[in-house]
Structure 1
């Protein structure tokens, strides 16, 4: 069940204001969206825009390194033994004890 708070509307300059209780956990300066639906007022926080990463400063870092895309010929991998390729290990994992 949600908490219920009482607050009074007061005059602030040429506007009306509603003081919200600190117990709501809102931060000072938080932007809120207010709408009326069927005679009731709904107040909810505005979603913050997603942060964008500014690549301007790091975009040119690789230019002086003369980096080039990897060619298919350069994509050669050395084969190395893997644990799941070992038949004894597979048998020990799949073997169930009663």
Structure 2
């Protein structure tokens, strides 16, 4: 079975702490093997939150089954995104992989 998998590149800012002031810091995370439809939904939700924050929840949970580079389905992934902390979210390089059921 062919399935499109994407990488979601996320840059986020740590929340500021009221008890201990510190300089804000940025962190970067790549989510690899995200099904293209889930990656598109993450990007769409982030864009919607940026332009119309009242129409979408600030925090959202995504559930999907990732695909490794050899096309083997991996365990179910749960990703919680806090759009209030995300600075950028980009979907890159969708690629067709041959998915091997259950390995």
TM-score by length of 2: 0.20
Larger radius of gyration: 1
Greater fraction strand: 2
| Greater RCO, CA 8 A, separation 6+ | 2
More helix by share: 1
